Amino acid sequence: MIETAQMRQDSDKKAGDVFRVLIVDDEQLFAQAIGRELKRHGITCDLAYNAEEAISLSRSGYYQAILLDHKLPDDDGIRIIPLLLGRQLKSSLIMMTAYETIQNAIQAIRRGAEDYIVKQTSIKPIINRVLEIRKKHHVRKSTSDWEDQKKEGPLGESPGIRKLREKIVKLSSRRDTTVLFSGETGVGKEVAARHLHALSTTGASPFISVDCVALPDTLVESLLFGHEKGAFTGADHTKEGAFFEAQEGTILLDEIGDMDLALQGKLLRVLETRHFQRVGSVKEYPVKARVIAATNQDLSTLVSQGRFRFDLHQRISIFPISIPPLRQRANDILLLAGHFLDFFCSKMGYSAKKLPPDVQEMLLQYDYPGNVRELKNIMERAVILADSGKIEPRHLPERLVDRRAFGLLEGSRASAHAVDFIPGIDTLETLEKKLIHQALQQTKGVKGEAAKMLGISRFQLLRRMEKYRLNPPGRKSRRK
């Protein structure tokens, strides 16, 4: 019996650890040499000698990596990159070419290639690149498996986040309803959108996010709706836009408040008619995807300023959902910190780490202008720096340490004595220095007790004593 690509794909899913590569090159001996060498490393390969064979294989099986030649007998390799990746959403595509030009490299990467390799006499650079991809794939796979256990949506137990999850569940069955997520940068608007997508569609349906801030006005219409060959200068082929690529999945229009006014009118028509046209075409295509918008701005204010269309605002605000900033949901901070801590320990292959009470207090004292995204970055940094089984204050950014140190002015016993110093204080630094000095005097130089009195950790106290060159009472500075 002949084994088909689909049969091999089903077998691969059962095996779990099979790494498969599609090699596309019309130089048969070259492609076969790569295939033999990869096989020696335990990698399974399929070979295609033209574009038609490659596209057919990509539609019937799954590949973790694709090696694609630039010049094929029946098509241009760069042109078919989106076609190959259309059903290979997590595949790494490497463009191979004998003709090295910066323009081709940029074009290939823009169309979805991960890398661009110039063919040489030796195939070793290509083999090494595939081995790197396989290594990253296994790390990504274990991380993905761990993330699959965290599908409860936006994390948190605060009332605002509970209501957010409830609204998302209610919306999951209303695919035609346009949803608007609003909130400060970093609150998790895309996380909420992805959760709504996961509840509304099958796992195979794509989620496409379009950043309206990053889109140049001259190209935005083409990027959203696509264009026909010859529609404008440089349009040497037909391009599918985001609305077409989303199919029956979800398209997120992120930071929609920054969208150009002219395009807002065209978007309104698309949302109302549920059809769109490619640039340079009169043919209409149906919008099958759910449309979600997100913004960190007050759209009502933009409407009053004439920067956003009133009718579009009404159209995308059928179901508005505001996500609260992290500073308004303080009881979620440690829950999220623990989640990110576990995530990055797992991702980096480290053993589990703990958050001691003094670190927890520092995390709770901070107001997070960057919201959940900033907390995530803080925890990633801490995991990288930590060389023991716990996160320590020194593993946190300076802004958290300084914030907590200045927090000694509020709620600590030493702050009760701050009134005595206020008449002679000209800077906050001077006040902090005098408070530390007084705490050391009252505790007779016992740093642990002084730190407790100030409401900071012993490490923070030592840092500030070094900064201000303070010595405990009765001790003199050492001189060389």
Tens of pLDDT, residue by residue over 272-298, are 999 998 888 888 999 989 999 999 999
Per-residue pLDDT at 411:
39
Percent of the chain at pLDDT above 90? 31
Mean pLDDT is lowest, of 194-198, 220-224, 458-462, for 458-462
97: closest CA among 71, 72, 115?
71
Instruction: Select the more confidently predicted residue: 319 or 226.
Output: 319
Per-residue pLDDT at 265:
92
Q: Compute CA 180 distance to the chain's CA centroid, rounded to the nearest angstrom.
A: 20
Cα–Cα dist 126/130, whole Å: 6
- Please tell us whether the domain made up of 159-324 is placed in CATH 3.40.50.300: yes
List beta partners, residue 65.
Answer: 21, 92
Q: Is 80 exceeded by the pLDDT of residue 28?
A: yes
Tokens of 361: 């207090």
CA atoms within 13 A on the CB side of 21: 29
Task: Provide CB contacts within 8 A for 246, sequence distance 6+.
Answer: 206, 207, 208, 288, 289
Strand 250-254 with 290-295, pairing? parallel
CA distances from 401 to 53, 392, 426 (A): 59, 11, 22
Give the mean model confidence (pLDDT) for residues 83-97. Answer: 78
Give the mean model confidence (pLDDT) for residues 101-119. Answer: 77
Q: What SS3 state is found at 369?
A: coil
375: closest CA among 344, 336, 406?
336
User: CATH for 326-396?
Assistant: 1.10.8.60
Per-residue pLDDT at 65:
92
Tokens of 310: 């009133």
Per-residue pLDDT at 138:
56
Give the H/E segment covering residue 188: none
Tens of pLDDT, residue by residue over 326-359, are 988 988 999 999 999 988 888 888 888 889 988 9
List beta partners, residue 117.
Answer: 96
Per-residue pLDDT at 454:
76
- Which pTM was predicted? 0.56
Environment class of residue 161 by beta-carbon count within 10 Å: exposed (0-12), middle (13-18) or buried (19+)? buried
List beta partners, residue 295.
Answer: 182
Give the mean model confidence (pLDDT) for residues 238-245. Answer: 83
Task: Provide CB contacts within 8 A for 303, sequence distance 6+.
Answer: 309, 310, 313
Give the mean model confidence (pLDDT) for residues 380-388. Answer: 89
Tell me which architecture the domain covering 5-146 has in CATH: 3-Layer(aba) Sandwich (3.40)
Per-residue pLDDT at 403:
54
- Domain locations in the chain as residue ranges: 5-146, 159-324, 326-396, 401-480
Tens of pLDDT, residue by residue over 128-164, are 889 888 877 655 444 444 344 335 578 888 889 999 9
326-396 and 5-146 share a CATH fold: no
Give the mean model confidence (pLDDT) for residues 5-33. Answer: 70
Cα–Cα dist 391/368, whole Å: 19
Per-residue pLDDT at 320:
95
